[in-house]
Amino acid sequence: MRRPWFSGIALLTACCMVTAQGPEKPATVFLSREVKRSIPSPNGKWALGVRAESGETPWLVLQAVGAEPRYTVQVWPINNSVYVLWEPDSQAFAFTDARFEDDYHLFVDHLSGYLESQVVDLTSLLESRSSRLVDKRCEILRWHAKPLTWVRNGLLLVGVDCDTAEKTKRSPSYVPVQGWLRSYIVDVQREKVTADLDEKTTRRRFGVDLRQEKW
């Protein structure tokens, strides 16, 4: 259950960069225990950050910018670090939590009302799509996911970097290991994958080089 609390920690203020064509698309940002910064929503009303008390589980937190007193909501307990990406209309944000070293979880938080939110776990949806690449004799050894960009409001491009291997009779030996880089377009409202893209198509359609991404 999400627990509200009053934060005395001042969050940094940031402004959206504006070009002649309008505001730039929100970028994916890395946050962790050590990287303490505030990520404002495109409309400037909200901010995301990580709160990490000594010896306690760190939380991804959401705050209303300019609100007095500073009312903050704990969104999700994280392992250590997350990638976060605001939706252009500021009505949702995606985040990837490295729950385990080789197993990432992808979530989308839909905002509704004053600091009210609904977190949806899209991990199993995406993992089931990745498993289609795997031969029945193989299994996934490493699965990393990351929100890359919002195609439009409600439609999210997600990148996946995973390793698969064939399991031999002499368990737990695996041969050989094969790496996969894919991207998926996800309708986050309907919780449905609408497109499955390879590296070349991802680069051509969205200008994203999956090999250059930090996983």
pLDDT of residue 21: 43
Q: Which residues sit opposite 63 in a β-bridge?
A: 47, 72
Tens of pLDDT along the chain (215 residues) come to: 333 332 333 333 333 333 334 457 899 999 988 887 899 999 999 999 999 887 888 999 998 888 765 678 889 999 888 999 999 999 999 999 876 666 788 999 988 766 667 899 999 899 888 777 666 677 777 888 999 999 999 999 999 998 888 776 665 666 667 788 999 999 999 999 999 999 999 999 999 999 999 88
As a whole number of angstroms, the distance between CA 94 and CA 117 comes to 12
Measure Cα distances from 11 to 36, 70, 96, 117 in Å: 9, 10, 21, 20
pLDDT of residue 108: 94
| Structural domains of the chain in order of their starting residue, each with its CATH number | 1-121 (no CATH), 122-215 (3.10.450)
CA neighbor of 180 nearest in space, from 198, 167, 196: 198
* E strand map for the chain: 4-6, 18-19, 22-23, 29-32, 39-40, 46-51, 59-64, 71-77, 81-86, 92-100, 103-111, 117-121, 138-152, 155-167, 174-187, 192-197
Q: What is the pLDDT of residues 44-89, one digit of tens each?
A: 999 999 998 878 889 999 988 887 656 788 899 998 889 999 999 9
